[in-house]
Structure 1
Amino acid sequence: MPGLGAQTEISFASTFVSSAIAACFAEFCTLPLDTAKVRLQLQRKASSADGAVSAKYRGMGGTILTIAREEGLPALWKGIVPGLHRQCLYGGLRIGLYDPFKMFFIGAFLFGDFPLFQNILAALLTGAIAIIIANPTDLVKVRLQSEGKLPPGVPRRYSGALDAYSSIIRQEGLLALWTGLGPNIARNAIINAAELASYDQVKLTILAIPGFTDSALTHILAGLGAGFFAVCIGSPLDVVKSRMMGDSTYKSTADCFIKTLKNEGPLAFYKGFLLNFSRLGSWNVVMFLTLEQVKMMLRG
């Protein structure tokens, strides 16, 4: 099979390294979109004296411009250090374990295409395992991204990624690094399944069209398809995850979900949908395109 889960001659270590490289490159290229998405998801509706509802951030372009104007261009890359930490662990594990899990469920002697159900099941499990290990990096990334422009004289909560890790452990306890683990497992397991399984499926569909080959164009189209499916399925969980990690007032996943639904309505779970698709769509295109090229180089 010519999809992501095709039998290859490279080892688990090589797959892990190539996946980590591809994920880190995609993270760096698309982090400004993710920073804007987090700000939009954490934004609450505010009422002015005349009763009008105001919002500081509006849309993808408006949010990015507001952050750059008020905090400087580098603020769009807030959280890049824990973001790269996350992608080394999460990105490497979720893809590196994908083929071994499929082989476990299906058997090593299958010829032809892998069944879609087994692809989804393998991706669900690898996404869950990977994020359990990488959750602290995700938490620190969101905490750094969520901090906007502060009034003069007000110090920042954290001076950087390492300070954030140590401050959270010191002030909130070691287990606080796994805040939001429930929705994060659900989100990443589901999004991982949507991304990896749909990438394989979309790629196979494209390759069945006359004139298409296993080329960069095919990888780009399959990456866009994977990003679209991932956003449609994972957006509500992504909003809950961001709010729980960025705001410690929520008691549980259910509390965050109920309060968001009650106070802002169901559309709040799709806040920043286009921005999220811009982020995940472009992220998947860059990641899968880079991954395919790195793996090709490793195969010689």
Structure 2
Amino acid sequence: MVADQKSKSDISFAGTFASSAFAACFAEICTIPLDTAKVRLQLQKKAASGDGVALPKYRGMLGTVSTIAREEGLTALWKGIVPGLHRQCLFGGLRIGLYEPVKNFYVGSDFVGDVPLSKKILAGLTTGALAITIANPTDLVKVRLQAEGKLPPGVPRRYSGALNAYSTIIRQEGFGALWTGIGPNIARNAIINAAELASYDQVKQTILKIPGFTDNVVTHLFAGLGAGFFAVCIGSPVDVVKSRMMGDSAYKSTLDCFIKTLKNDGPFAFYKGFIPNFGRLGSWNVIMFLTLEQAKKFVRSIESS
């Protein structure tokens, strides 16, 4: 993603996949507390009390983080980290690793010059959809573990850990249940992946044309922030629907979840957790892209030696 003209002679797919998986996992470890806060906020519904509507348990990103840490302990903020890392190895490695080859496929082998934004978006949609189709079970388990809050004394947890969650879901709900929410998940991840990778690619390409800017950490920082902002603005509604479908089996379909959310909680519910989502995706993209660029540089030096 340095410059479009150079992408064809870049590092190998294996090197890109390894760099992408490593960068995505590192970003996941750093930012998963914000993701846990985001999931709790998204799953929170209006609670009726005797006198009307009760105050929500979780309020704001920092409030949610502090509530979880106070009630459940600091480690609860890293709930779902194991399937989260499973997800990033598969999803992060595939969606980013395949982006350049797919983009080059769409423009053709003889193409020279700046790749059009439409082709970048198409490549991002393609790799995001393909990668999450494979990685959906890891996403489901991650959300299920994150969604489980503090339980009353004596009430056992649904899952003792990530591997137990996989086996329990298969045993109780069937193998196909691992792909619960696949519709909104494909929509979300294809859209967000296109927003992230295409905007990072485009912003970086634009910055590099400004006199004084070079392919360095400052450029990667600005491009990563731009990628995170576009991803959240575009992907938040499908992200909320995905989290609700994965966290609650009461919804019959994507459309049913969308309609019930709109009817019961109003249109602003689709932007629930927007600030923690941007805090999460913005910081995630900055950390991931900065790490990715350095990892690719390291791999490039090994492969060229």
The residue aligned with 1:247 is 248
CA contact (8 A) 1:41 1:239 kept: yes
> Greater CA deviation, 100-109 or 273-282?
100-109
The aligned counterpart of 2:2 is 2
Aligned pairs, how many? 300
Aligned match of 1:151:
152
Q: Deviating runs (4+, > 3 A) in structure 1?
A: none
Q: Is the 8 A contact 1:48 1:54 kept in 2?
A: no
Shift of 1:3: 4.2
State the partner residue of 1:258.
259
8 Å Cα contact 2:117-2:202 kept in structure 1: yes
CA offsets 1:28-57 (integer angstroms, 9 cap, x no match): 000000000000000011133222431000
What is residue 114 of structure 2 aligned with on the other side? 113
Between the aligned partners of 1:216 and 1:156, the Cα distance in structure 2 is: 44
Per-residue CA distance 1:234-256 (angstroms, 9 max, x = gap): 00000000000000000000000
The reply to whether residue 238 of structure 1 matches residue 239 of structure 2 is: yes
Q: Deviations over 1:97-154 (max 9, x none)?
A: 1111112111122222111111111110110000000000000000000000000000
> Which runs of 5 or more residues in structure 1 are unaligned?
none
Query: 1: distance between equivalents of 2:100 and 2:114?
Result: 13
From the superposition, tell whether residues 31 and 8 of structure 1 become closer, same or farther in structure 2 (CA, over 3 Å): farther
> Quick check: 20-29 or 210-219, which moved more?
210-219
The one-letter amino acid paired with 2:76 is: A
Identity over aligned residues, as a percent? 77
Look up the equivalent residue of 2:192 and give its one-letter code. Answer: I
Corresponding residue for 1:273?
A: 274
TM-score when normalising by structure 1: 0.98
Q: TM-score, normalised by structure 2?
A: 0.96
SS at the partner of 2:251? coil
Residues 1-300 of structure 1 mapped to structure 2, 5 A cutoff: 2-3=2-3, 6-300=7-301
CA contact (8 A) 1:83 1:137 kept: yes
Deviation at 1:227, TM superposition (A): 0.4
Q: Distance in 2 between matches of 1:97 and 1:157?
A: 36
Deviations 1:40-89 (A, max 9, x none): 00001113322243100000000000000000000000000000000000
How far apart, in 1, do the equivalents of 2:191 and 2:131 lie?
A: 12
SS in 1 for 2:52: coil
Partners of 1:295 and 1:190 lie apart in 2 by 25
